[in-house]
Amino acid sequence: MSKRSMTKEDVSGRRVLCRVDFNVPISGDRIEDDTRIRAALPTIRWLIEHDARLILCSHLGRPKGQVREDLRLAPVAARLSELIAQPVTAMPEPTGPSVTLAVDDLVPGSILLLENLRFDPREEANDPGFARELAALADLYVNDAFGAAHRAHASTQGVALLLPSSIGFLMQREISTLTRLLNQPERPFGAIIGGAKVSDKIGVIEHLLPRIDQLLIGGGMANTFLLAQGKRLGGSLVETDKLEQARHILVEAERTGTTVQLPSDVVVASSIEVAQGTVTTVDDIDAEDAVFDIGPTTAARYAGILASLRTVFWNGPLGVSERAAFAQGTSTVAAAVAATTTFTVIGGGDSVAAVEKLGLAAKIDHISTGGGASLEFLEGRSLPGIAVIPDDTGASDA
């Protein structure tokens, strides 16, 4: 998949509406994690260095069409200004007369940031009128918000139908990396899939099965697979309505020659509130206990497998990693992923948080900025924010 790059456009002196993903955690006026802001910097810098009159737009949180003071983008504009060492004007609304006037006053190489798009209920409704208001602000449209590419919203799909459209560097890297996983992975290729529920990951597991050699399963979803094998899980989280799908995945894995790895030991406790869990085998889980992490033997086995692979994709924690008592399995696997010399890709907020907390992010080849978007991409689904961008023809309008 090759989509038209913004580098093919003559942006000098032109108004460029760039959809970015600045959906970052904020506490008051403080940005708690600016990873997504920094991820957009190469695109932003290229546009202003080529004298674009740059209009950035993003959503933040889930205001549900209402103005919320705690979800304004002014703190993001302030942080971006620090990172690029030039002023960024934060607008008080996404569209309207004041925005139009501010855009008219933009000079080449300058930047303004529209207010939270989701303050307007028409954004998530992909309202054509809102798309037209956004499009009227610009001459060109660039989508660099991979984390929102799976949403058919006015700023991700609607406006792209109205303006000459292309993608930025972040979107380009996400597409090329995930396409490589699907079409040209160096073998052996392994996927680590964790998280709470099988239902969240069925699509990506089924699509990856013919492409991978090893499937390492952890987290709450492993419980459903263990129950499907007849294990007694006590009070553990399980999806009894997904047992047949779990069995189907195991049968399909055998058919495709993919080895499925499941926990042989686990960390259990009577409550998630305990300070320390107990390690036991999957055959000896007491009725009053629940599974909250993979055990040390399983973690070591998974680490050994990872060392033998040439490509690794990881999505989802292997335990309740936000609790210290149940974070060791995820930490062990994170360290193993970082230590390998293979091509490594991580997608999903909790997996990313684990490697960042351990200071290992720099050792990962690609950390996807879109958990849901990366999963849908790897499921083989068409993402509206990508599909609407014209394919790269190789020609240049610059």
Binding-site annotation, residues for substrate? 21-23, 36, 59-62, 118, 151
Residues tagged in the binding site annotation for (2R)-3-phosphoglycerate: 36, 118, 151
Give yes or no: 380 in active site. no
Candidates 173, 235, 372, 381; catalytic one: 372
Give yes or no: 295 in active site. no
Q: How many CA atoms lie within 13 A of 311 on its CB side?
A: 16
Candidates 349, 357, 363, 381; catalytic one: 349
Which runs of consecutive H residues, i.e. helices, occur in 6-137? 35-39, 41-49, 74-84, 97-105, 128-135
Give the CA radius of gyration of the chain. 23
For residue 132 the two structure tokens come to 């037209």
Distance CA 279, CA 357 (A): 24
Give yes or no: 349 in active site. yes
Q: Amino acid identity of 65? A: G
Candidates 8, 197, 323, 357; catalytic one: 197
Among 202, 205, 219, 172, residue whose Cα is nearest residue 313: 205
Candidates 14, 15, 36, 53; catalytic one: 36
Distance CA 30, CA 229 (A): 48
Give yes or no: 194 in active site. no
Q: Quick one: how far is CA 275 from the chain centroid?
A: 31
Sign for the pseudo-dihedral over CA of 223, 343, 379, 174: positive
Which helix or strand (DSSP H or E) is residue 293 part of? strand 290-294
Distance CA 30, CA 157 (A): 31
Name every residue whose Cβ is closer than 8 Å to that of residue 347 and which is 6 or more positions away in sequence. Answer: 313, 314, 315, 367, 368, 370, 371, 374, 375, 378
Catalytic residue list: 36, 197, 349, 372
